[in-house]
Amino acid sequence: MTSGIDVRVIETSSLGDRSYLATDGEVALVVDPQRDVDRVLALAGRLGARITHVLETHVHNDYVSGGLELSRLTGAAYAMAAADEVPFQRLPVADGDLVEVSPRMRVRVIATPGHTFHHLSYALEGPRGAEGVFTGGSLLFGTTGRTDLLGHEHAETLARHQHASARRLADLLPEGARVWPTHGFGSFCSATQAEGDSSTVGHERQVNPALRLAAEEFVTQTLSGLDVYPAYYAHMGVTNLAGPEPVDLRPPATADPRQLRRRLAAGEWVVDLRNRRAYVRAHLAGTVSLALDGPMATWLGWLIDWGAPLTLVGETAEQVARAQRELVRIGIDRVAAAASGTPERLAAEPDQIRAMDTADFSALAAALAGAVPDGLPAPATVLDVRLRNEWNDSHVIGAVHIPLPELPRRLDEVPEGAVWVHCGSGYRATAAASLLARAGRRAVVVDDDVTTAADKGVPMTASA
């Protein structure tokens, strides 16, 4: 920035979140850090900046915060909403407070309830005034943070607060002020999918429903668009209020082929981290496909019983280490065991290795018309594992709808016979097929883009 303030993004794309580091070249403030704070410390080191302040916009519900640990490691002041009661030392801040970071950089605290009751935004000010605003889960790119995370009974009240807070930000800040949200990049914390990679207050005035719609219309639209969110969210706020433990990324115990077989035989979660196409070609029977090239932590945290034994299987030890890092961000701190290598190397017996049938929507269209492609079973059931709003927009006529997060406890609702399973692109379908196979069912993964289904001849409809 021409003011001499440099704002850097620390992206966590797997969770759809961003943290920020702002520096004047000497000192730095950090906003909404993820739990693996080594990334933040490394960035500050590269920039030659000393972290003096850590700011939380709210008590997060989608990840374990690294704010407390970062403040302990650096000696930085840890700012949180004064209204949030916590057992650890922090700098309590409230609406209108001014935090002087350096003679060239300060933040103005703005109360923006909506995503949570005590949510704060932080306007970053340089020598010439406001440069931008860290909005957390308030004003996002083209949308706002969802309002039901504290319970559906609060959703309408918080939606009204969210509308008022967005308008307050727009009124207080200049058109050219940058908007730096934490959520909205695929996070389930946003009310709808965010658009774009950067924005300003002026741009949001033109496109954001909170700034374009009257309060009643905004509330109705927001509440009608809310879908389910990951089950592990129930643990995040509690952990963050209590004060998270320091992160531990030491490698888990190594499982040899016999130990893997015992864990699989016991019905434990053994997760294959490889690309889904590698998984369908060959995998250990009973493993669940949740590839690292997608939102592995989100879906695993949603599916697994909290605290259940977990074993990770990857191609390399580096892949397992990456998965560990993803998982500690959502509070899964203890991995029971891990193994790396090919399925052939990890199998205790050759008959443990399995393959899985795959198809595209053209093949599904043919199969539904009675011309089943060679080598594939006729579809007794088409299973759609997308979420409710996706199903309502468009779905295969006659399909069974069981969202992926509900599948483990609803497997007995899937009709007998071969199951052709699809999602939006193939990631969730492969996960679902692996769960079906784990339960002894035959599944075909429709590994294709659902937006092409109608053009490929699949009969589609929408819910009223």
Say which residues have a Cβ less than 8 Å from residue 6's Cβ, sequence separation at least 6: 22, 23, 24, 25, 47
Residues 166 and 215 in one domain: yes
Residues 165 and 67 in one domain: yes
**Domain ends where: 310, 332, 354?**
354
Residue 143 lies in a domain: yes
Whole-angstrom distance, CA of residue 354 vs CA of residue 286: 9
* CA distances from residue 423 to 106, 400, 452 in whole angstroms, order as listed: 46, 12, 12
In this prediction, residue 104 carries a pLDDT of: 95
Domain that holds residue 87: 6-242
Whole-angstrom distance, CA of residue 263 vs CA of residue 267: 7
In this prediction, residue 1 carries a pLDDT of: 44
Q: Which two tokens stand for residue 11?
A: 């992206």
**Domain ends where: 328, 354, 380?**
354
Residues 335 and 378 in one domain: no
In this prediction, residue 329 carries a pLDDT of: 97
Residue 248 lies in a domain: no
**Residue 75 clears pLDDT 50, i.e. is over it:** yes
pLDDT tens, residue by residue, 329-357: 999 999 999 999 999 999 999 999 999 99
**Residue 217 clears pLDDT 70, i.e. is over it:** yes
Residues 201 and 304 in one domain: no
pLDDT tens, residue by residue, 14-56: 999 999 999 999 999 999 999 999 999 999 999 999 999 999 9
Q: Under the phi-then-psi rule, with left for phi > 0, alpha for psi from -120 to 50, and beta for the rest, what region is 226?
A: beta
Residues 349 and 379 in one domain: no
Residues 210 and 83 in one domain: yes
In this prediction, residue 195 carries a pLDDT of: 65
Residue 311 lies in a domain: yes
In this prediction, residue 464 carries a pLDDT of: 62
Q: Which two tokens stand for residue 129?
A: 């005034």
Residue 251 lies in a domain: no
For 343-385, give the DSSP string.
Answer: HHHH-SSGGGEE--EEE-HHHHHHHHTT-PPTTS---SEEEE-
pLDDT tens, residue by residue, 268-281: 999 999 999 999 99
Residue 296 lies in a domain: yes
What's the DSSP call for residue 53? E
pLDDT tens, residue by residue, 136-173: 999 999 999 999 999 999 999 999 999 999 999 999 99
Please name which of 265, 309, 304, 310 lies closest in space to residue 284, comparing C-alpha atoms: 265
Express as a percent the part of the chain with pLDDT over 90: 95
Residues 124 and 109 in one domain: yes
Please name which of 335, 339, 313 lies closest in space to residue 324, comparing C-alpha atoms: 335
Whole-angstrom distance, CA of residue 459 vs CA of residue 12: 38
In this prediction, residue 186 carries a pLDDT of: 79
**Domain ends where: 324, 354, 384?**
354
Would you say how long the chain is, in residues?
Answer: 464
Whole-angstrom distance, CA of residue 114 vs CA of residue 208: 15
Residues 219 and 125 in one domain: yes
Say which residues have a Cβ less than 8 Å from residue 246's Cβ, sequence separation at least 6: 69
pLDDT category at 188 given cuts 50, 70, 90 is confident
Residues 340 and 368 in one domain: no
Please name which of 115, 119, 73 lies closest in space to residue 94, comparing C-alpha atoms: 119
pLDDT category at 291 given cuts 50, 70, 90 is very high
Residue 171 lies in a domain: yes
Residues 52 and 173 in one domain: yes
- Asked if residue 164 lies in contact with residue 172, where contact means CB atoms within 8 angstroms, the answer is no
Residues 398 and 431 in one domain: yes
Whole-angstrom distance, CA of residue 368 vs CA of residue 169: 53
Residue 391 lies in a domain: yes
pLDDT category at 193 given cuts 50, 70, 90 is low
**Residue 2 clears pLDDT 80, i.e. is over it:** no
pTM for this one?
Answer: 0.93
In this prediction, residue 185 carries a pLDDT of: 82
Residues 65 and 183 in one domain: yes
Tell me how many domains the chain contains.
3
Q: Exposure string (b/e) for 422-460, b if CB count within 10 Å is 16 or more?
A: bbbbbbbbbbbbbbbbbeebebbbbbbebeebeeeebeb
**Residue 196 clears pLDDT 90, i.e. is over it:** no
pLDDT tens, residue by residue, 389-435: 999 999 999 999 999 999 999 999 999 999 999 999 999 999 999 99
Please name which of 324, 270, 316, 334 lies closest in space to residue 297, comparing C-alpha atoms: 324
Residue 1 lies in a domain: no
CATH number at residue 445: 3.40.250.10
Sheet with 443-446, strands from edge to edge, namely: 357-359, 443-446, 419-422, 381-384, 400-401
Q: Which of 178-192, 238-252, 276-290 has the lowest mean pLDDT?
A: 178-192
What's the DSSP call for residue 285? T
In this prediction, residue 327 carries a pLDDT of: 98
